[in-house]
Amino acid sequence: MNKERKLYAALQGLVWSGFVIGSTYGTYFMQQKGISVTTIGTVTAAASLFAAILQTVFGQMIDAGKFTWKFHLTAAAILNAIVLACMMFPLGTLGYGIMLAVYLISLNTMVPVMNTACFYYAYKGIYIEFGSARAFGSLTFAFVSLLIGRLTGLFQENVVPVGGIVLMMLILMVVWMLPYYGPFEKKTGSSDEKVSSAHESFIHKYPFFVVLLIGFVLVLTLHNVISVFLLLIIQDVGGGSQEVGIASFISAMIELVVMFGYVWLRKRFKAEQLLLFSAVVYCIRGILYLLAGSILSIYLIQLTQAVTYALYGSASVYYANDVMDDSDKSRGQGLVVAALTIAGVIGSLLGGFLCDHYGVRTMLVVFICIAAVGVVLICAALRMQRRSKASA
């Protein structure tokens, strides 16, 4: 049992570190190749759109037993390693754009499948505390961010794909070592459950969940632009790529406080309460970035990651698992991650356009307003859920 816990924590660390390559330093790599911010935003948006679609498709296929989570993670890691190797050669704007998009799509589809693996082991009687494993993901992300930031300062942009290839090879090793105990045994269930699964649409079964996800799509657009365009935000106050590494390190490290303590939080607060709180703080965080005037202030604002993405990352996974029927759990996890990737479509396209034409500050104002609308929708969704429980 200790073997599964340790390997699963390592998997979380390696997969999330992949986002250092694709998101945190993807913008830097593309800029160094002479590609405009608008083009980078368009590439990221297209990748997010396709990933959002594929996350739900792959979730349904895993639920249906078409292939296993181990197969998906293996195939995605191999594909990413090939793509990153290609990025080390001269490709031109179109070539680099396609390669980065494929990498981001493949990496994003790995996240819900990795989350499903945690509950797979729980189903097989092997308990893995998701919050602690996810915290290790943040810890690894923090150190990889710092390391890549330092190495790019010394060796320039090709450190990015090389680092990514190393991560993908390590992911393959961990996935290969993780034991597999056979597929989920399909529960026969009642006839009512069978009818529900076969005939009711997902939206009809979980209307409150759909509205909540729409709300979080809007809130997470702010998260997306801060993540993708962090380099530009830092450049606006006089920093550079090494400061991006430090800022990312701070935010990832502070996530550990919440993620390691999520078991304590879960005993005292409902997942939906934590989700709403994180959404409200996201808006506050955006305002703080808008007012920031120095590198030090950016570093201090990164501390709010503890009560924004750290809370969302853990609470949303547990929330989806709690409210979904067994036949919908992988699809639910796919939709949770799809909310972030759909937010990437809006954030990357609109954010890139606003940065190029109106500047970073205007971009932040727009996305703070969008996030505020998302908070209103989340409140409405939770009200719908309470009414649904009361009438059940």
**Per-residue model confidence as pLDDT tens digits over 241-250:** 778 878 878 8
Nearest to 316 by CA among 54, 131, 135: 131
Do residues 16 and 141 make contact, with C-beta atoms less than 8 angstroms apart? yes
Instruction: Report the predicted TM-score, pTM, of the whole model to 2 decimal places.
Output: 0.68
Domain residue limits at 337: 2-180+200-391
Predicted pLDDT of residue 326:
65
Q: How many CB atoms lie within 10 A of CB 243?
A: 19
Mean pLDDT, the chain, whole residue set: 82
CB atoms within 10 A of CB 352: 26
Burial class (CB in 10 A: 0-12, 13-18, 19+), 248: buried
**231-235, 263-267, 365-369: range with lowest mean pLDDT:** 263-267
* 3-class state of residue 308 by DSSP: coil
Confidence of residue 391 (pLDDT cuts 50, 70, 90): low
Please indicate, yes or no, if residue 185 is contained in any of the structural domains.
no
CATH label of the domain that carries residue 240: 1.20.1250.20
Q: What percent of the chain is predicted at pLDDT more than 90? A: 21
Q: Would you say residue 361 lies in a domain?
A: yes
* More confident position, 266 or 2: 266
Q: Is residue 134, in this structure, part of any structural domain at all?
A: yes
- How far apart (Å, rounded) are the C-alpha atoms in residues 113 and 60? 11
- The token duo for 89 is 């050669």
Average pLDDT value for residue range 329-336: 72
pLDDT tens for each residue of 151-167: 877 777 788 889 999 99
**DSSP readout, 344-369?**
HHHHHHHHHHHHHHH-HHHHHHHHHH
pLDDT band (50, 70, 90) for residue 63: low
Q: Which of residues 133 and 368 earns the better pLDDT score?
A: 368
**In the prediction, which pLDDT does 190 show?**
43
Residue of 353, 338, 346, 350 lying closest to 105 (CA atoms)? 338
Whole-number pLDDT of residue 346: 83
Is residue 192 domain-resident?
A: no
Tokens coding 377: 């929708």
pLDDT of residue 1 exceeding 60, the answer is no
What does the pLDDT read at residue 198? Answer: 37
Q: What is the pLDDT of residues 92-144, one digit of tens each?
A: 888 888 888 899 989 988 888 888 788 778 777 887 877 778 778 878 887 88
Q: Residue 84: is its pLDDT beyond 50? A: yes
Q: How far apart are CA 146 and CA 129, in angstroms?
A: 26
3-state secondary structure of 125: coil
Other C-beta atoms lying within 10 Å of the C-beta of residue 106: 25
Do 8 and 118 touch, CB atoms closer than 8 A? Answer: yes
Alpha carbon distances (Å) from 247 to 50, 135, 150, 236, 300: 29, 17, 12, 14, 9
Query: Residue 172: its pLDDT value, please?
Result: 94
The number of beta carbons lying within 10 Å of the beta carbon of residue 198 is: 8
Is position 276 within any domain?
Answer: yes
As a whole number, mean pLDDT of residues 174-182 equals 85
Tell me, what's the pLDDT at 202?
Answer: 66
In contact, 281 and 304? CB cutoff 8 Å = yes
- Domain-embedded: residue 228: yes
Least confident among 48-57, 98-107, 113-122, 198-207: 198-207
Q: Is residue 24 part of a domain?
A: yes
Residue 7 makes CB contacts below 8 A (sequence gap 6+) with: 174, 177, 178
- Asked whether the predicted pLDDT for residue 195 surpasses 50, the reply is no
Residue whose tokens read 């409405």: 380
Looking at residue 65, its pLDDT comes to 65
Instruction: Indicate the angle between helix axes 207-228 and 309-323, nearest 10 degrees.
Output: 160
Instruction: Give the sign of the dihedral formed by CA 45, CA 50, CA 55, CA 56.
Output: positive
Task: Specify whether the CB–CB gap between 158 and 90 falls below 8 A.
Answer: no
Exposure letters 2-37 (e unless 16+ CB within 10 A, then b): eebbebbbbbbbbbbbbbbbbbbbbbbbbbebebeb
**Token pair of 265 as six digits:** 């939080």
- Which segment, 9-18, 23-32, 193-202, is predicted with the most confidence on average? 9-18
Alpha-carbon gap, residue 361 to 351, rounded angstroms: 11
Cα 110 versus chain centre, distance: 10
pLDDT at 3: 80
* pLDDT reading at 194 higher than 60: no
Q: Into how many domains does the chain fold? A: 1
